[in-house]
Amino acid sequence: AQKITQTQPGMFVQEKEAVTLDCTYDTSDQSYGLFWYKQPSSGEMIFLIYQGSYDEQNATEGRYSLNFQKARKSANLVISASQLGDSAMYFCAMRRNTGGFKTIFGAGTRLFVKA
Amino acid sequence: DTGVSQDPRHKITKRGQNVTFRCDPISEHNRLYWYRQTLGQGPEFLTYFQNEAQLEKSRLLSDRFSAERPKGSFSTLEIQRTEQGDSAMYLCASSLLGQGNGYTFGSGTRLTVV
């Protein structure tokens, strides 16, 4: 069975600093995708970044990067130069690429950016 | 493109009543998903469609839940004989085929069963 674990219920970061949100996953599949989503207090989930299990390079999207360590089964999200608008819930998610395409989500980490 | 639309935004119903939610996905997206989210938790998968075919349904979902996507366009999620435990945010999302395509979510329908 697949599982996503986010061990940090809440994180604080100073504005303009970098922050790492942890995510570990469990799967027996060889081909899968890892995702991060942001959910502001307004409620609408926003797709941030994707990493394929066969991708050798870490994914980057603007200020977001995904630190993918396949052997450790970790997919941490790094946000550089934090902004006040980054305050939100962040969810790590995984989707298998064969035999069904549902995405499973972790419990989330709430990020607070301090001015 | 106006994104994924969900209607209604809020629904309060009495226990035992039936409710139906609607989702209009992004028109080019052929995959549509329903999730349920309770306070402080991540979204929990309910079901998904590829075009009009319902390809997977969560085993956690009781027979009181049913979803349709006629003609591969909008989708409806119906909950029969609602229970207080059904109170949650119901999220709809859509996506294109392809491994790297993330979901576009709607704003959700918040259901409160009293």
Q: Which residues pair with A110 in a beta bridge?
A: A10, A89
**For testing contact with chain B, the best of A6, A102, A104 (most B CBs within 10 A):** A102
Provide the CA B76 distance to its chain's centre, in angstroms.
Answer: 7
Q: What is the dihedral of CA A24, B103, A77, A91, to 10 degrees?
A: -60
Write out chain A's pLDDT in tens, 115 residues: 789 999 999 999 999 999 999 999 999 989 999 999 999 998 899 999 999 999 989 999 999 999 999 999 999 999 999 999 999 999 999 998 876 678 999 999 999 999 9
Q: Which residues pair with B79 in a beta bridge?
A: B19, B65
Name the minimum distance, in Å, from the CA of B4 to any CA of chain A. 10
CB–CB of A45 and B33 under 8 A? no
pLDDT in tens, B43-99: 999 999 999 999 888 987 789 999 999 888 999 999 999 999 999 999 999 998 887
CB–CB of B100 and A44 under 8 A? no
